[in-house]
Structure 1
Amino acid sequence: MFAAILNGLLPVAFVIFLGWMSARIKWLKHEDAKVLATLVIKFALPFALFSGAVRTSPDKLQHAGFALTLALGLMGTYFIALCIGRFVFRHDLRTSTIQALVCAFPDMAYFGAPILSALFGPEGFLAVLVGNLITSIVMLPLTIVLTENTEHRKPNDTAFLLFLRSIGGAISNPMVWLPVLGIVISMARVPIPGPALRSVDLIGTAAGGTSLFALGLMLYGEPFLINRDVLTNLLLKNFGQPLLMFLGAAMFGLSGSMAHQTIVTGAVPTATAAAMFALRTQTYTANATATILISTLLGIVTEALLIAAMFH
């Protein structure tokens, strides 16, 4: 058990610290994280997901319960947070939507992928693959529609057109179409030559370390803020979402590795991309960045507790 925790989390904490320290001693700047993030999101992680997909058994790719569990955990948390922001905290719709994104969007690219890979091997990318499709095709387009400023819309723009346009943008993203291509190849049982797979792996293996280093850079200088919103966000993201994943796994008959993957994914801290949406809409920025910072620190602890419980 202790070895599993160390193998899964010590490398994550170490590389995040290296990224943070590189900004602290001014070897790199906070802004340099954008270059590393582009490398991860456009190249390294899409190819890592592709590699994981083609190596995953078609039987597991066809497991509807796995996708339904992830959808319940991701979108269930989203709608719970949206209702809390709108009807409990009395935020406007735009602010409530960004709060929902902050609570429901796990950092699968930077934080989750290295942990899942360390715990479950190439199969661990399955949760990142399916979760990424749900966030890219459902959660993010819905967020764009709900936060769109009506006075900046074109006269013929409806919510449905905005939703379709955002889905089109998501589908053209390598983070979506490359993993889908890997799924198709796996389902068709098309063999991939060894040299081709090794070529993909060469860039794909850069995803884990580079993403965590970039995360450390991003977190440097972020404000440490505690208030009602931040505490609620942490409760929903770090504890509520893995609980929903656990309930989903029980409802849809998941067990073993597949159930564990969904729960670990639920406990992954808030994605840094949520802060980008807050900046873009110029709302909820301070609460979003504070949640990401504290959620990441807390995520190391909650992931360790989960790993201890699952591998005892």
Structure 2
Amino acid sequence: MPSLLLQSLFPLVFIMLLGWLSGKLGYTHRKDATVLATVVIRFALPFHLFIGALNTNPDKIKNFSFMAVLVIGLMGSYLLTLILSRYVFRHDIKTSAIQSLVCAFPDMAYFGAPVLSVLIGPEGFLGVLIGNLVTSVLMIPLTIILIRMGDKGTDLETLHPGKLIMQNLLRAVRNPIVWIPVSGVVLSLAGVQLPHLLSSPIEMVGKIAGGLSLFALGLLFYGERPSLNIQTFTNISIKNLIQPAMMAVAGLTFGLSHTLMQQVVIIGATPSAIAAGMFALRSDTYIESASSSILIGTAIGVLTEGVMIYLIS
């Protein structure tokens, strides 16, 4: 068990430290992380998920219980935070939407994928694939709608939620991180195998996703000065502890296999995604609490992820 924990988590810490050290020594700058993230999100990770989906047994892709557990865990923690933010912390709807995203959006690309790769192997990317679809199709469009509703000067009478949902669904479908992995799912279900001449370069591009994303994450953290308060504590508790607990309960209820239980719990224990902080910056809302929650939550996430690996292995 100690060997498994070390093998799963040490690469995360080591590569993030390299990114942080690169910023510290002046080799790269924090703004360079945006370029690295673009390479990961637009190319490396979509192809990585594509190959993972293509090599996954079609029967496992059609596991609707697995999909249901991910929807319950991801959206359940989102709605729980939305209620707490509105009625306990008394935030406006726009701030509540950002806080909910911080508490419910796992860093599957940067943090979860490398852990699942070591712990489970290629099939571990099925959870990342479906989880990404849930966030792209449900969570992010809902957040955008709530932010629009909370913007000052927005005429709610002219705001058509159905139209906004369709617009954001179309944007999601056009995003490479959605349509490329979905293509892999479709090919897998159809029993299509790519020729080696094509699959080899796709695999080469996909293999850089984990390392490059963790390096970018470490670089982004350089220069941050996080603060721990009731907001940050609540956010980290929901994301790192309550969400994996919800995943575990839902997984037991739906009778998931041990391997699938491992995937949903690991995804649930994964700290908040950097993308949630990007939403806060772009909306000019909840910026300090969001960035502090993501930074401290990621540091603590190394420990909580290790605990989850121990419990489910």
Task: For 1:28 and 1:287, locate their aligned partners in 2 and report how far apart those are by CA, in whole Å.
Answer: 26
Q: Give CA deviations for 1:239-264 in whole Å, capped at 9, x if unaligned.
A: 00000000110111102111100000
Equivalence for 2:176: 174
SS in 2 for 1:300: helix
Task: For 2:274 and 2:89, locate their aligned partners in 1 and report how far apart those are by CA, in whole Å.
Answer: 23
Q: Give CA deviations for 1:184-208 in whole Å, capped at 9, x if unaligned.
A: 0000111221222211100000000
2:218 to 210, 216, 219: 216
Matched, 1:269 2:271: yes
Give the direction of change, closer, same or farther, for the CA distance of 1:150–1:188 in structure 2 (3 Å limit): farther
Task: For 1:309 and 1:155, locate their aligned partners in 2 and report how far apart those are by CA, in whole Å.
Answer: 50
1:256 to 248, 251, 258: 258
User: Quick check: 1:223–1:289 contact (8 Å CA) kept in 2?
Assistant: no
Equivalence for 1:203: 205
Q: Give CA deviations for 1:20-78 in whole Å, capped at 9, x if unaligned.
A: 11101111101100000000000000000000000000010000111111111100000
1:153 is displaced (CA, Å) by 6.7
1:247 to 231, 243, 249: 249
- TM-score (ref. length: structure 1): 0.97
Equivalence for 2:303: 301
User: Quick check: 1:142–1:163 contact (8 Å CA) kept in 2?
Assistant: yes
Task: For 1:237 and 1:132, locate their aligned partners in 2 and report how far apart those are by CA, in whole Å.
Answer: 16
1:119 is displaced (CA, Å) by 1.0
Matched, 1:24 2:17: no
Equivalence for 1:232: 234
Identity of aligned residues (%): 47
Q: Give CA deviations for 1:198-252 in whole Å, capped at 9, x if unaligned.
A: 1110000000000000000111112221111110001100000000000110111
> In angstroms, what is the RMSD of aligned CA positions?
1.3
Q: Please, which moves more after superposition, 65-74 or 38-47? A: 65-74
Task: For 2:116 and 2:32, locate their aligned partners in 1 and report how far apart those are by CA, in whole Å.
Answer: 26
SS in 2 for 1:297: helix
Task: For 1:191 and 1:213, locate their aligned partners in 2 and report how far apart those are by CA, in whole Å.
Answer: 32
1:306 is displaced (CA, Å) by 1.2
Task: For 1:50 and 1:256, locate their aligned partners in 2 and report how far apart those are by CA, in whole Å.
Answer: 24
Q: Give CA deviations for 1:91-148 in whole Å, capped at 9, x if unaligned.
A: 1111111100000000011111111111111111111100000000100000000001
Equivalence for 1:89: 89
Equivalence for 1:48: 48
Q: Please, which moves more after superposition, 156-165 or 18-27? A: 156-165
User: Quick check: 1:53–1:179 contact (8 Å CA) kept in 2?
Assistant: yes
The answer for unaligned runs of 5 or more in structure 2 is none
SS in 2 for 1:151: coil
Which residue identity lines up with residue 214 of structure 2 in the other structure? L
1:187 to 186, 189, 195: 189
Segments of 4+ in structure 1 off by > 6 A? none
How many matched pairs?
Answer: 311
Which residue identity lines up with residue 145 of structure 2 in the other structure? V
Which residue identity lines up with residue 282 of structure 2 in the other structure? R
Task: For 2:120 and 2:114, locate their aligned partners in 1 and report how far apart those are by CA, in whole Å.
Answer: 10
Q: Please, which moves more after superposition, 117-126 or 150-159? A: 150-159
Matched, 1:158 2:160: yes
Which residue identity lines up with residue 208 of structure 2 in the other structure? A
Q: Give CA deviations for 1:141-185 in whole Å, capped at 9, x if unaligned.
A: 000000012635798541221121111111100100011100000
After TM superposition, the structure 1 = structure 2 runs for residues 132-147 of structure 1, keeping only pairs within 5 Å, are 132-147=132-147
Matched, 1:105 2:109: no
Give the direction of change, closer, same or farther, for the CA distance of 1:152–1:257 in structure 2 (3 Å limit): same
1:310 is displaced (CA, Å) by 2.2
Task: For 2:59 and 2:108, locate their aligned partners in 1 and report how far apart those are by CA, in whole Å.
Answer: 23
The answer for unaligned runs of 5 or more in structure 1 is none
Task: For 2:277 and 2:159, locate their aligned partners in 1 and report how far apart those are by CA, in whole Å.
Answer: 26
SS in 1 for 2:270: coil
SS in 1 for 2:31: helix
